[in-house]
Structure 1
Amino acid sequence: MQRPLIAVLIASAFLTLNAQAADLLQVYQQALANDATYASARSSLAAGQERITQGRSGLLPTVSASGSNTRNTGDATSSEFLTGNTIKNDTDYHANTYTVALSQPLFNWGAWETYQQSKLSQATAEATFSQAQQDLIVRVAQAYFDVLTAQDNLTATQAQKVATTEQLASAKRNFEVGTQTITDTHEAQAAYDLVVAQEFAAINDLDNKRTALQVIVGQSTAELAPLRTGVTIAPPSPATVDPWISSAETQNYAVIAAGLNVEIAKREISRNRANHLPTASLIASTSHQRQTGGGSTVNNNAIGVSWNIPIFNGFAVTSKVRETIALEDKARNDLEATKRAAAQTARQAFLGMTSGLAQVKALEAAEVSSKSSLDSNKLGYQVGVRINIDVLNAQKLLYSTQKDLSKARYDTIMNGLRLKSAAGSLKESDLAPINALLVH
């Protein structure tokens, strides 16, 4: 009676899932459109792409126009020396003035270094965004499989509850007819109470995992497509860890961004040293001044070169150079730390994937053995050579093995994604083979 009931529960669950199940790629597309962290990274990229235009502006000419238009009213009073007569003069006049000026830098090493820094800053923004793209893939996959793990735990716990319920009923019947002691009933009752508590915890965990996925995709998700039974997970390629570590130390986007920061720090030293150097600019201007009321009109055009030579500024430039040298050393140490972290992540993910594949294989064998053990204990219980606690322990072992096997598969898949992310090669297309492992 136990098997048909479990089969009905599993079949109904799969019918519900297949009715409106969303797969991994569909959830990822929702996250691309709605994830706030990814949207923030996209806006940061858009801001960073303006750096080159801003840096180049210091090398291009600047044109400005200024002017004024004023009307003056008043009078002036004076006395003649000989006659003593008072003379009153009207001083009303209208003045109109404008100037258009152009300045083109001829030599400004600081502006040139700022331009070079702007190109590096834009490249840093692009590397940071690429890392955010990879992070989104990993976050979505992790949240997706966390939900599946919670679902599998709940399904196994509910199946264990059904089996424990039947075992409790059997123990009570046998006690009533006198073939078993009250101890068997108490053991079955304790096992039932424990699995009920585990069911409540599993339901709560599933709700939390669904909420975590909802935070990423920005909306309530439909039922998720589960992993097919008995799937084969592809091993890492290449199959040795050294190429992955080498790739992590050179192609990881965090490492690339840290390397660009070192170059920016170098340019910052040169830019500050340029404050000791002279600057020169081509200047040109045209001006017009007209005054009415007996005034005059003046037009003027000018062209030439202006220059500036810094002599002394209280040791500020020297101090700033020393500061930027220290910051360059910090950037180099940050780069080395980032390389080591990327290499460690790649190594851990590689070992996690290879050991995970072995663990999955071992747990698959353990699942078969646990099923056989449970069947043997049930048969022994029926013929009286096994007691109730033996069946309960066998059931517990089987469902625990199934939970471990499910989690091992998900962890192995996730370690494969983390390995590619650490190596800087993770792309959206890498989700396709994983999506093919799901029930569609």
Structure 2
Amino acid sequence: MRALIWRLGVAAGLGGALLVGSQNLAANERMDLSEAYRLAVEQDPRLRAAQARLRASEELGPQARALFLPEINLEAGANQNWENAEIGDQGRNSFDYHSWNAGVTLTQPLFRRESFALADQAEILQDQASLEYATSQQDILLRVSEAYFDMLLAQDNLRLTEAELEAVQSELRRAERALEVGSGTVTDRDEARARFDQVEAQRLRAQNDLQVARENLRSVIGQPPRELAGLRDDFSAQPPSPDAPEVWTERAERNNLNVRLAEGEFQRSRTEVERVQGQRYPRVDLVANYSRNFQSELGQQGAGPGPDFAGEELDSEQTTVGIRLTMPLYAGGGPTSQAREAQAERDAFFEESIDARRQASLEAESAYLNLVSNLRQISAFEQALQSVLSTERSTRRGLEVGLRTTLDVLNVQRDRFSTQRDLAEARYNYLLNYLQLQVAVGSAIDGSTIDDVNFFLAQRAEDEVDDLADMEEIETPENDDFPDGDQTE
């Protein structure tokens, strides 16, 4: 399998991983993280809404170009006219006639300062829509990953609880047999029974937690999830590369999507100031007009002889080409007020961009520190698991020779299962914090980051599911075949 050094410095064969993952998925019908992410992308309404807004933003380009192209209008009208007029000493006369007119006007903008600002705004808004879509992709990436690992953790917790319940039940049967033959005590039996009831209650809670986690994942991917692929047995957490928090914070301040969105809003607010100020400048347009006017014969009523042109039709054509200048002088103070408003908004967006950089730096540093902490926790829990397994072996041997009690065995069993739960949670948190670190630095825009993490998920065989349930079979001092604690599934 080809080796691929992923962003955290973890050796991963991504191409081979996808091939192996798809083959195992077909064979075992297990759902992995990449498939869950694909389903979420297809079904998530938030992402589809962002896609629609992205398509809408694509129309801003043609709208910006239209500001510099000519505008052509057709005008036409028809009227019926009644006119009553007194002309000199000829007396009062009434006329009725109909008329119509038609014309075409072309207006080509030559200079409109605000149009340049509007064109810049359109370009910025298109970039903002792309960033918002990328932010939605990051959001669904985190939501599906959190839901996926929450369900895995709930599955692990239930399996461990069932294995612990079986182990406690075995101790209860041993205590009852010992009491029957006279080598045990009532106290041992009662303590084992009380622990059995406690673990049974934990199992019921674990079942409910798993159902809640399954429903949460279903709501994200849009369908009931199948059994999930868990961590591979050879999973090994590696430190981030580069192993320096200041490098990650610098990347976040430069590439974080929220930072880029805030900077885009600041740039848009600057162009808005230019647009408002541009309204004070003159507008220069080239105007060309062609029109035709028609007036019918005058119908005359009254005693007077009427004008000399009575009974004649009027049909005229007119063509004009010229330059039109429009200079705003006074508009009640509205443009000046709008300019002050735009400047204040610009200052607000500038401060918000500074805050966005600080927040991105904090998120990156927090994710980095959490990642380092997860590494140390994983190492500590793995060592603790080896220690508790050794302690359990010694405690069982001590019970056989009368130096330990049933309660001691039950307590060390509880410590073992608790450590396994903590180890599983630390491993899942490690992968989640890796994803959060990539989001903080703006590198988790598509599914490639999911594929990096998905490499560490394996399609397990059916006979491996009950491995944890076999861990309670530690009954004799000669049995030294203990699991290494790495299987938390």
- TM-score, with normalisation over the residues of structure 2? 0.80
Q: Given the alignment of the two structures, is residue 236 of structure 1 paired with residue 236 of structure 2, yes or no? A: no
Q: Secondary structure at the match of 2:224?
A: coil
The residue type equivalent to 1:385 in the other structure is L
Cross-structure match for 1:132: 136
- Structure 2 residue matching 1:59: 3-state secondary structure: coil
Q: Which runs of 5+ in 1 are unaligned?
A: 1-14
Q: What is aligned with 2:351?
A: 333
1 CA distance for matches of 2:82 and 2:121?
57
2: distance between equivalents of 1:209 and 1:312? 64
Q: Return the offset for 1:300.
A: 1.4
Distance 2:83 2:374 in 1: 99
> Whole-Å Cα distance in 2 between the matches of residues 65 and 267 of structure 1?
34
User: For 2:366, which of 337, 348, 357 is the aligned residue?
Assistant: 348
- Cα deviation, residue 345, structure 1: 0.6
CA contact (8 A) 1:36 1:216 kept: no
- Counting only pairs closer than 5 Å after superposition, residues 33-432 of structure 1 correspond to structure 2 as 33-69=42-78, 72=80, 91=96, 93=98, 95-293=99-297, 294-426=312-444, 427-432=446-451
Contact kept, 8 Å, 1:255 with 1:335, in 2: the verdict is yes
- Are residues 1:434 and 2:453 paired? yes
Q: Find the residue that maps to 2:416 and give its secondary structure.
A: helix
Question: Does the 8 A contact of 1:110 with 1:271 survive in 2?
Answer: yes
For residues 285-310 of structure 1, the C-alpha deviation after alignment (integer angstroms, 9 at most, x for no partner) is 11122344553222111111222212
CA drift of 1:335 comes to: 0.4
Instruction: Tell me how far apart the structure 2 counterparts of residues 99 and 373 of structure 1 sit (CA, whole Å).
Output: 100
2-side partners of 1:325 and 1:429: how far apart?
A: 41
Assess if the C-alpha contact under 8 Å between 1:268 and 1:324 holds in 2: yes
Question: Are the structure 2 counterparts of residues 16 and 63 from structure 1 closer, same or farther at C-alpha, using a change threshold of 3 Å?
Answer: closer
Q: Distance in 2 between matches of 1:385 and 1:62?
A: 99
Determine which of 36, 39, 48 is the counterpart of 1:30.
39
How far apart in 2 are the matches of 1:185 and 1:132? 57
TM-superposed deviation, 1:17: 12
Aligned to 1:4: none
Identity of aligned residues (%): 33
Q: Deviations over 1:21-42 (max 9, x none)?
A: 1111111111111111111111
Between structures 1 and 2, the one with greater helix share: 1
Cα displacement (A) at 1:73: 9.1
Q: Moved runs in structure 1, 4+ residues, more than 4 A? A: 15-18, 72-76, 89-93
Separation in structure 2 between the aligned mates of residue 239 and residue 225 of structure 1, nearest angstrom: 30
**Structure 1 residue 341: Cα displacement:** 0.7
Q: Aligned-pair distance for 1:337? A: 0.8
TM-score (normalizing by structure 1): 0.89
The one-letter code matched in structure 1 to 2:458 is: V
Pick the aligned partner of 2:29 from 13, 17, 20: 20
Q: State whether residues 245 and 343 of structure 1, in contact with CA within 8 Å, keep that contact through their aligned partners in structure 2.
A: yes
The number of residue pairs the alignment matches comes to 419
- Structure 1 stretch displaced more, 60-69 or 414-423: 60-69
Q: Is the 8 A contact 1:280 1:305 kept in 2?
A: yes
Q: Look up the SS of the partner of 1:220 in the other structure.
A: coil
Superposed CA offset, 1:263-295 (max 9, x none): 111111121112221111111111122344553
Q: CA deviation at 1:90?
A: 9.1
Inter-partner Cα distance in structure 2 for 1:436 and 1:320: 55
- Say if 1:21 and 1:222, in contact at 8 Å, map to a contact too: yes
RMSD: 2.6
SS of structure 2 residue aligned to 1:102 = strand
Contact 1:278–1:308 under 8 Å retained in 2 = yes
Task: Output the amino acid matched with 2:74.
Answer: A
Q: Secondary structure at the match of 2:231?
A: coil
Report the CA distance between 1:69 and its aligned residue.
4.2
Give the 3-state SS of the residue equivalent to 2:230 in structure 1.
coil
Q: CA contact under 8 A between 2:97 and 2:295: conserved in structure 1?
A: no
Q: Is the 8 A contact 1:51 1:119 kept in 2?
A: yes
Q: Deviations over 1:198-218 (max 9, x none)?
A: 111111111111111111111
Higher mean C-alpha deviation, range 377-386 or range 20-29: 377-386
Structure 2 portions without partners, runs of 5+? 1-23, 298-311, 460-489
SS at structure 2 position matched to 1:276: coil
